[in-house]
């Protein structure tokens, strides 16, 4: 389990890493809009600092691109680039939902949470078969926006 968890831990940490040229600005300059269901505006494009706690702990930075925001996509191409099939990738109305199957055994991964313009809180689960049983890794991820431009290597994990 430890070896498999170590191999798949980057999937939990890097799930939100974007793709693109790394040059991002808040595409519409709108301020926070509150509605009865929660935050309704867009998340801010750019560099984000993410702290993960739980079964997979650490910190990393990631880039959320204007293209991801325009497509209402949290994961972008980051999961597809890591041998995952994405069945759901939604980021709108203050809610993030991602469902994917990863690796050769198609391990189930889910990400659910909320966001505002400059922050997000997510619960992430990854199910792994271990000795004929399914083990579930759980991690909580808190992200905060730090800059309009993404740094090189901003999607690399530090954990």
What pLDDT, on the 0 to 100 scale, is given for residue 37?
42
Is 125 within the bounds of a domain?
A: yes
Q: Can you list the alpha helix ranges (DSSP code H) found in 14-159?
A: 66-70
Task: Give the model confidence (pLDDT) of 58-79 as tens digits.
Answer: 999 999 999 999 999 999 888 8
Is 25 within the bounds of a domain?
A: no
The domain in which residue 84 lies consists of: 46-146
Average pLDDT of the residues in 6-32: 40
| CA gap 23, 105 in Å, rounded | 36
Is 106 within the bounds of a domain?
A: yes
* Percent of the chain predicted with pLDDT > 70: 72
Q: Which of 53, 88, 56 is nearest to 74 (CA)?
A: 88
* pLDDT above 50: residue 95: yes
Confidence of residue 30 (pLDDT cuts 50, 70, 90): very low
| CA gap 22, 151 in Å, rounded | 7
Q: Which of 117, 107, 87, 88 is nearest to 26 (CA)?
A: 117
Is 134 within the bounds of a domain?
A: yes
* pLDDT above 90: residue 54: yes
Structure tokens at 20: 């693109």
What pLDDT, on the 0 to 100 scale, is given for residue 153?
57
Is 78 within the bounds of a domain?
A: yes
Q: How many domains does the chain have?
A: 1
């Amino acid at each position: 389990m430890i070896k498999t968890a170590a191999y798949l831990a980057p999937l939990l940490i890097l799930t939100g890493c974007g793709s693109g040229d790394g040059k991002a600005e808040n595409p519409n300059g709108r301020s926070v809009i509150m509605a009865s269901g929660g935050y309704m505006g867009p998340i801010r494009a750019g560099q984000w600092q993410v702290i993960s706690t739980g079964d997979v702990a650490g910190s990393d930075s990631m880039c959320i691109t204007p293209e991801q925001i325009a497509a209402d996509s949290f994961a972008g191409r980051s999961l597809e680039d890591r041998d995952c099939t994405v069945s759901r990738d939604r980021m709108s109305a203050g809610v993030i939902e991602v469902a994917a199957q990863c690796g050769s055994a198609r391990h189930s991964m889910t990400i659910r949470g909320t966001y505002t313009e400059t922050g997000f809180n997510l619960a992430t689960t990854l199910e792994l078969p271990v000795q004929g049983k399914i083990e579930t890794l759980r991690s909580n991820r808190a992200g905060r926006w730090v800059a309009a431009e993404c740094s090189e290597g901003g999607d690399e994990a530090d954990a």
